[in-house]
Structure 1
């Protein structure tokens, strides 16, 4: 019984082991099947790789010579390729040994030249072998197709844009390192120039020495030579433009050129133009003669050896990017701002600055490379000339229009008279006359007109004559004759005093000036006759009898006449208290004449007849003033009001010139 059970267990274990072994064997067979399928798929490729050529022995012997002829140049090319990559290990640091680095690059270039010249021939030999094998059906079609594809890839690499990668990109990387060294040399030696001292007013701008050391320039030239030989000059030029334009901008920033960005609307405040245009002229001259002149020479020194006109293009781009365009744009902004007589002087200042730099501009910014700068410069000069001439020719019409404006209520000098007096002398002065004459000559040349020598003088004389006619028109606008006479006295004296001894006064002549002085005397006497001169008659002594029974009558007459005089005096003083005599000497003389006309008569009258009313309880009603108080009151008349008449200016607004409260030139007066 026991033996049977043991046998049964043994049999079960045996069978179980067999089943497990069968399962394992089945899995192995399954895996082997998968591997066989993979081998079956790869077999054609392996067959191509292992046995590509299927030909008879004689055919194989015949093709051997062709294969050898293709293998020899291909092997030579591969050897050169290996030599090229051997040079990589010998490349030094360009910063430490630039000549050595350039020497290795030269050898690399020569090797690449050989590689480029022979690579094509080797590829052609390989292509011929593939074609021979295909024509004679000596190889598997898939093998032939693979060879043809490889040859085509070689042709594309050799003949396309990737030709430079025949060396695996070594030359490209080496040139990039050299470009970085070019940038480093420029950046580390490009230092913004100090700008403080040479831009002081009336100081001559100096031409700076080369901003780069000679040794550095030689290194840059050597690098450029390598880039030229590798058709990479544009790359260096771009780096040069970037670094040097940035350096020039940094130099100019020290001049605080924010005003160059001012808008047209901001320029309509004439008061600000003076400062900005004066700065603009000095800064432009300094920038051209100190910065751009130096940069112009440096570009020539660095790039001249390349044998190309690249240096002019580089300089043009540096100048444009560094700020010359901003200077010219500022000038254009000025020409587009609101027209104003004062603006004429500013435009002449700009023209003068541009004229001084004409030769420098033509030399530095000449040529096709700077064509844009030339266009902007010509346009600016044209705008300046046209703008100046337009304002100049409109002056007479604007002055003529002034006759329709009301005369000053205080009988002072109209602002247009004050302005034209000073303005004309400025235009005839040594500073502006040559410039304005030059501008007018150019303008008339553009219009194909012959320049008239006295055109400037005649136009200014017409301004003075028009002012004289306006005075007559304005004087008729006063309700009282006395105001009209005081107004004419003021203005004729102003013309005499402030034109005598001037260029314009010399042109007008002595007889004209004497006549103005005589007019002043005449209108002063007429003013006195129509105003203060009427008062002494009110203190008449007629009918005053101081003895016997006439004393009471005399007292009444004195009271009546003193009352009439006092009322008339107060009324006259009130009417004249707001009137102005701007000139100190004329004001003093007029006061003195009035005092001499009234005070002595009043003093004498009071001395003789004052005692008659002294005992009267209301005597002060009739004798309010003493001679001294009258003199003091008269001595305070015609005082100049600084807040109201301290300045004057003409503006061209909507085609009209008016007497605004703002001013560019102060009235020439003094207070007392």
Structure 2
């Protein structure tokens, strides 16, 4: 008979709606004979490996898919395929045939055996099929070749010809996946997909759940998280941050690869992966979403940002791993977590601004130093800039609205925000401005106007310094820094002018002009008093920034020293030597001024008064040998 004719007889379908024409006796005999041979061949090898057969008891201890039985395993799979073809033919001829019933029973026996083999491979190769091993070598170039079964095409798929650089554990993993795939293909094609999937999901889900437990991922309700002390919750967040990276990049990714390999030729891979991973993944991302719903305070923002950053960084993997409709709830939970975390960050930033505005301390900082509020705000904002990659996404749709224009007392005609365009930069610049406004009010607590300006200069210098040394520099820009440095110079100039005005006023307008001796004495006395008073006062003032301190000292010395030196040289020598008195008139030489000025703005207090120099003939202008003893206040 021609081959074409034989294929027609073999594969012709039977329809109960009509009676097929009676075939010739020769064709019936040949087809039935061929089917009988297929069934007999399948029965021989299936019965041999049947665990319920007494004759096969010696085979039960061995695996059909062990290295020494690879040839029989291939025969076993082929026999199942031929048995399936025979069943299809018999069903088309006589659905009540005894041979069909026998073939069906034989097929059930084969599926039980393959199910046990499938289970055994999954269990015995648990270490080789762990998600970390799979995810690590799945990216190798050999993955596409090694994932093929040596039951399909030995010329292309024989695992013995794999690259020698592949580790043995990877070889074992690849071989196990190949065996699982051919078994799954066989069971699914035979109509036993449900049984195959049940075995797979039972084992692999337990692995996922166990791995998440060892990573420290626990299921907490929103109520439980809200009742936790912040210290306890922060520990849980730190554990979660470490766990989520491993869970996504290794655990779920590895399981995704394994499902894709085992069920590569069927539509079951998505449903299997979904049932295995969905519960654990939902619990994982629900934790972050629930944390975002807990009570929010400024110090919590950094952990909230850590959660946001972790999910944001992992989003490409999340989208790839949970790409199907059946796992869309996982993607949606991750998205919801990002949304809620972003809202929490905006709420905390608003609360932070409120905290600044409501700061009510009434005690001035000793010496006009940096206020704790300034340190708190700038350290806070500096830490925020560590998240400058994700913060723009959070504040991009959060416009800055203010109830009043920016205070002109700080910026004058300068528009401090003209170079700031990004929402994040504007938000940070606004928080700094709110802080400076608050400090402006605190400067009024000082009775000495010069000290008020020094306080403003110190705090703005601290702000600018923090901006310079952090990522704030890139967010606010060089123009912002330059404009605020101008304001620092203005504050410093006002401090010098008002703080040393009495000293300068004690000297004549024209120090070289000829004036009566009584006026000379009066000027020296007034200068001594003014200088001593100013020195004692400003020695307890503080300028923490060394550059600003030196700049102000040099400026003060340039204001006073030349005028005093000219007056001293003109009137402090010969005219006084011609007089005799018991009262000390000249306490300072021009050189002394620089020594005394070196002590100011260091936050120290002078103990005791100046010890006057006894002016005698030939000793006028003698340098003081002793400097007043000083004691640090801090």
The normalised TM-score by structure 1 is 0.52
Secondary structure at 2:572 match in 1: helix
* Residue 606 (structure 2) pairs with residue 638 (structure 1): no
Match of 2:548 among 568, 580, 586: 586
Alignment partner for residue 446 of structure 2, among 471, 475, 478? 478
Deviation by residue 1:362-401 (Cα, 9 ceiling, x = unmatched): 3422456546644642442232121012123445444433
Inter-partner Cα distance in structure 1 for 2:578 and 2:110: 122
Specify the SS of the correspondent of 1:357. Answer: helix
What is the aligned partner in structure 1 of residue 394 from structure 2? 436
Instruction: Tell me if the contact between 1:95 and 1:181 (Cα under 8 Å) persists in the aligned partners.
Output: no
| Residue matched to 1:354 | 311
Q: How does 1:318-337 map to 2 (within 5 A)?
A: 318=277, 325-326=283-284, 329=287, 332-333=290-291, 336=294
| 2:367 alignment partner, SS class | coil
One of 154, 171, 175 as aligned partner of 1:215: 175
Q: Which 10-residue stretch deviates more, 495-504 or 629-638?
A: 495-504
Report if aligned partners of 1:263, 1:333 keep a CA contact under 8 Å in 2: yes
Which of 339, 349, 364 is residue 392 of structure 1 equivalent to? 349
Name the residue aligned to 1:529: 497
* CA distance in 1: counterparts of 2:364 and 2:138, whole angstroms: 53
* 8 Å Cα contact 1:351/1:384 also seen in 2: yes
Contact 2:296 2:344 in 1 (8 A): no
How far, CA to CA, are the matches of 2:232 and 2:455 in structure 1? 31
The aligned counterpart of 2:204 is 240
**Partners of 1:226 and 1:356 in 2: how far apart?**
40
Matches within 5 A, 1:238-637: 238-243=202-207, 246=210, 284-285=244-245, 287-304=247-264, 308=268, 312-314=271-273, 316-318=275-277, 325-326=283-284, 329=287, 332-333=290-291, 336=294, 338-340=296-298, 344=301, 347-348=304-305, 350-367=307-324, 370=327, 373-374=330-331, 376-402=333-359, 408-414=365-371, 416=373, 423=381, 431-432=389-390, 434-438=392-396, 440=398, 459-460=427-428, 462-491=430-459, 502=473, 519-538=487-506, 558=521, 565-566=527-528, 568-600=530-562, 609=572, 627-637=590-600
Residue deviations 1:295-348, cap 9 Å, x none?
A: 202122224556545x64445535755x884576267547646521x7556645
Q: Which residue of 53, 61, 65 maps to 1:87?
A: 53
Structure 2: distance between partners of 1:582 and 1:437: 35
Q: Which has the larger radius of gyration?
A: 1
> Cα deviation per residue 1:621-640 (whole Å; 9 max; x = unaligned)?
87666655542332243348
Count of matched residue positions in the alignment of Structure 1 and Structure 2: 464
Question: Deviation digits for residues 194-218 of structure 1, max 9, x if unmatched?
Answer: 89xx9xxxxxx99576866332123
Q: What residue ranges of structure 2 are gaps of 5+ in the alignment?
A: 1-46, 88-104, 148-169, 400-420, 605-634
State the alpha-carbon separation in 1 of the partners of residues 297 and 501 from structure 2.
47
Q: Write the distance in 2 (CA, Å) between the matches of 1:601 and 1:591.
A: 16
* Per-residue CA distance 1:451-472 (angstroms, 9 max, x = gap): xx97656555544554454344
Distance 1:268 1:603, change over 3 A: farther
Matches within 5 A, 1:94-113: 95-98=62-65, 100=72, 103=76
Matches of 1:421 and 1:428, distance apart in 2: 13
Change (3 A) 1:417 1:594: same
CA contact (8 A) 1:410 1:579 kept: yes
Deviations 1:20-71 (A, max 9, x none): xxxxxxxxxxxxxxxxxxxxxxxxxxxxxxxxxxxxxxxxxxxxxxxxxxxx
Is the 8 Å Cα contact of residues 426 and 432 (structure 1) preserved in structure 2? no
Structure 1: gaps (5+ residues): 1-81, 114-165, 199-204, 442-452, 642-672
Please list, as runs of the form range in 1=range in 2, the aligned pairs for 1:128-277 lying within 5 A after superposition.
Answer: 178=117, 181-190=120-129, 193=132, 207=139, 213-224=173-184, 225=186, 229=192, 232-233=195-196, 234-243=198-207, 246=210
Structure showing the higher helix proportion among its residues:
1
8 Å CA contact retained: 1:335, 1:383: yes
Alignment of 1:110-129 (within 5 A): none
CA contact 2:368–2:454 (8 Å) conserved in 1? yes
Deviation at 1:590, TM superposition (A): 0.5
Preserved CA contact (<8 Å) 1:186 1:240: no
* Alpha-carbon offset, residue 239 of structure 1: 2.1
CA distance in 2, matches of 1:631, 1:533: 17
Pairwise CA distance, 1:483: 1.2
Report the CA distance shift for 1:613/1:420 in structure 2 as closer, same or farther (over 3 A). Answer: farther
CA offset digits 1:134-176 (Å, max 9, x no partner)? xxxxxxxxxxxxxxxxxxxxxxxxxxxxxxxx99xx9999789
Aligned 8 A contact 1:485 1:524 in 2: yes
Residue pair 1:580, 1:638 contacting (<8 A) in 2 also:
yes
8 Å Cα contact 1:428-1:504 kept in structure 2: no
Contact 2:457/2:491, CA 8 A, preserved across alignment: yes
CA RMSD in angstroms comes to 6.0
Secondary structure of the 2:368 match is coil
Distance in 1 of aligned mates of 2:451 and 2:362: 17
1:408 and 1:207, CA in 2 relative to 1: closer, same or farther beyond 3 A? farther
Q: Report the Cα distance in structure 2 between the residues aligned to 1:563 and 1:206, rounded to whole angstroms.
A: 90
Q: Contact 1:411/1:487 (CA < 8 Å) preserved in 2?
A: yes
Contact kept in structure 2, 1:412 and 1:487, CA below 8 Å: yes
TM-score by length of 2: 0.54
Q: Which moved more, 1:87-96 or 1:491-500?
A: 491-500
Separation (CA, whole Å) in 2 of partners of 1:399 and 1:350: 25
